Amino acid sequence: MTKYSNFSELGKVFNPQIGARLPNNIERVYTSDAPTMQLVSEAYGRARALEWINIQLNSVDLFTQVKNDLSEEARKELAELILSYYGFLKLPEFMLFIARFKLGIYGKFYGSFDPIAFCEAIKKFRSDRNLELERLRLNQLRDEIEARSSPIPDGYTSLSWYMETKRRAAQGDTDAIEQLKPPNQRGI
């Protein structure tokens, strides 16, 4: 609530129009400090969280322009199910799912808004999300390892730099001694 003093401010930031930009900002979606749907429910009340989900569902319904819209009762029940089962998703993550659904990545509706097809699509998104989060974690780990390892300075080959490091370690240089340790002993 410190970041978004009221629900209206939150709604302005996390609206369906903004969601259209998310497929190009995957890393930002997953690494943002945005609240989860469950946190929105706790901070602003369950009714507000359901309202936000309904806005997202309505954007799909309007976008698809199917002949038979989702009834108000079915929309409310779907929103309840999403909040109960997928409340752990951050708002931009759910918005990314909505954007991808609109792009046809997770299927489409045939003549009417199909809540079961929509829920199957969320399951597929959750699987993709897990893979993307793991890929981001591995990339971050790789970047940390590269930052910790010492690059070969200009004017050296890998062999000449190794020999220089070995010479410095023999003279007691603690940095050189650390660099010569195997990665698993350096905390990498």
pLDDT attached to residue 147: 65
Sign of the Cα torsion 74, 47, 38, 30 reads: positive
pLDDT of 26-84, one tens digit each? 999 999 999 999 999 999 999 999 999 999 998 888 888 777 778 889 999 999 999 99
Burial of 180 (0-12, 13-18, 19+ CB in 10 A): middle
Query: Which candidate, 81, 137, 89, 128, places its Cα nearest to that of 105?
Result: 128
| Sequence-ordered strand ranges (E) for 102-178 | none
Q: How many CB atoms lie within 10 A of CB 114?
A: 19
Which comes out higher in pLDDT, residue 133 or 61? 133
pLDDT at 188 over 60: no
pLDDT above 90 as % of the chain = 47
- Measured distance between the N- and C-terminal CA atoms of the chain, rounded to whole angstroms: 38
pLDDT band at 123 (very low <50, low <70, confident <90, very high): very high
Q: Which helix (H) or strand (E) covers residue 79, if one does?
A: helix 72-86
Token look-up 């959750």 returns 126
Q: What is the pTM of this model?
A: 0.76
The DSSP secondary structure of 100-142, one letter per residue, reads: HHHTTTT---SSB--HHHHHHHHHHHHHHHHHHHHHHHHHHHH
pLDDT attached to residue 80: 97
Residue 127 to residue 77: CA distance in whole angstroms: 23
